[in-house]
Amino acid sequence: MESKSILMGKYEVGRLLGQGTFAKVYLAKNLKSGQTVAIKVFDKERVFKAGLTEQIKLEISVMKMVNHPNIIELYEVMATKKKIYFVIEYAKGGELFQKIAKGGKVKEEIAHKYFRQLIDAVDFCHSRGIYHRDLKLENLLLDEEDNLKVTDFGLSALIRSDQQDELLHTTCGTPAYVAPEVLSKNGYDGAKTDIWSCGVILFVLVAGYLPFHDSNLMEMYKKIQQGEFKCPFWFSSRLKKLLRKILDPNPLTRLTVEGIKGMSWYRKGFDRDQISKETKIKETVTGVKKDKRERMRVASMNAFDIISLSSGFDLSGFFVEKENKNEIWFTTRQPISLLVARLEELGKKLKLRVRKKENGVVKMVARNGGRNGVVEIDAEIFQIGASNYMVEIKKLNGDTLEYQKMLKEEIRPGLKDIVWTWQGDDLVQ
C-alpha cells in the first residue's frame, strides 16, 4: 500500500502503524466523515494457507458482539480478491506496553484506573460467553483521553452453553501471561484464565516487570504453576493482597470478577451511588435480570457457526461464491419468553398459523396458498453465551418474492424494537 492511497473510494490510507505475522495495520481517514480510523489488512492467500479462515470469521463475530467503551470497535469489514480489511477504532494513545517501556512503571493510582477499565471490559465479554485468552499489555491500547481499550480478539473463544464441562481445551496465549491450568491438558475455565492474565498485567503496570520471568522457559512455567512471585517493596499492602488472590495457581480458589470488585484496593475511589448506577446500566445492557417464565429449550450456537451478526459483516462472499439464500438472521438480548411471544404476535398479525416446537422453533404457515404454494416460515432460536440469542428466519415453502416482501414490509419493521443486529439485509432491502 502506498502512502495516502484511497481504499475502495471510502478511506484515505496513510502510514503503517504496526505489523504482525498475518496482518498489517494502517492509519486511515474516512473520506465522508473525516473520522480517523485504523485499518487491519490481511492477505487472503496467507490466511488460507495458515488455515485461519474460521479464526478471522470468529474474530469478526466476537468484535461485533462486544460494543463497550473499553474495547476497540469494529466499524466495517471489506474485501478484495487478495485482501481482507478490518476498519476499526483508532486508539491515538498507542499501546499501553509502550508507555510502560518508556516510563518503567506507573503509579498505583494510574494502574488502578487502567485495571478497573480492564476488568469492566473483561466482565462485559464474559457476560456474553466470550473469553479473550490473550490478554497482555501489547493488546491494551489507549485513546486520546488516556482510557484503556482492549484489542486483538484473534485467539478469543465463545463457549457453547450446552457444553457439559464448559472448559476450553486449546493451549494459547502469551507464555508470561498464561495461567497455570492452560499448561495442563485437562481443560480450563476461560473466565479464570482471563482473570489470571489481568493479574499479570496489574503487576507489570506497578512493578515495571513481569511477576514470572526466567531465561529458561520451562523454569518460568514451573514458577507459574507454583504461583511463585514476589511483590516489590513499593506495592501497597492492599495491592499485594489482591494480587495474591488473583495469581492463585488453583483456579477453584482464584478470585472471580465479582471477588475482585469486592477487594478494598479495587473499590478505593468508588462511591456507592456510582456502583449502584453502574450495576443498573450493566443489567439493562446485558440482560442480567432474566425472565423466570423462560421454559422453551433452545439450541446453542458453536462459535464457528456464527459467521457474522450484521449485513456489514457477512463474510460468505469473502471466502466462497455467495449463494442465493432464503434466510435472514437477527440477534437479540431479550429473554426467550418475550422473544417467542413477539414471534407469535407477529405471525398472527400476518394471519399465519403459529406453532411452537420444543427445540426452539416457531413455525408460521400461511392459511391460503400463494403463487407457488403455501408460504411456510420457520423462526429458529439459538442461544449465544449466557443471555443472548440469534434467531434464524427461513422460508421452507412458497413464493420467494412473497416471502421477501413479507420480510421487508412486515417482519423486519414488526421486530425492530427487540433486534440488536441483523444479518442478511440484502434479502430485505
Map 81-126 to HEC letters: CCEEEEEEECCCCEEHHHHHHHHCCCCHHHHHHHHHHHHHHHHHHH
Buried b (16+ CB within 10 A) or exposed e, 340-349: bebbbebbee
Cα–Cα distance between 86 and 26 in angstroms, integer?
Answer: 10
Q: Please choose, from the candidates 337, 331, 258, 257, the residue with its C-alpha nearest in 3D space to the C-alpha of residue 290.
A: 337
Q: Which set of grid coordinates corresponds to residue 232?
A: 516489590
The answer to whether the annotation marks 49 as part of a ligand binding site is yes
- The owner of cell 456502583 is 275
146 CB contacts (<8 Å, ≥6 apart)? 93
Q: 222 — phi, psi (to 5°)? A: -60, -45
- Write the DSSP assignment of 24-72 as a string of letters: EEEEEEETTT--EEEEEEEEHHHHHHTT-HHHHHHHHHHHHH---TTB-
Question: Of 120, 134, 152, 248, which one is the catalytic site residue?
Answer: 134
- Write the DSSP assignment of 261-289 as a string of letters: HHSHHHHTT--HHHHHHHHHHHHHHHT-S
Is residue 134 flagged as an active site residue?
A: yes
- The owner of cell 502510514 is 15
Annotated binding-site residues for ATP read 49
Catalytic residues: 134
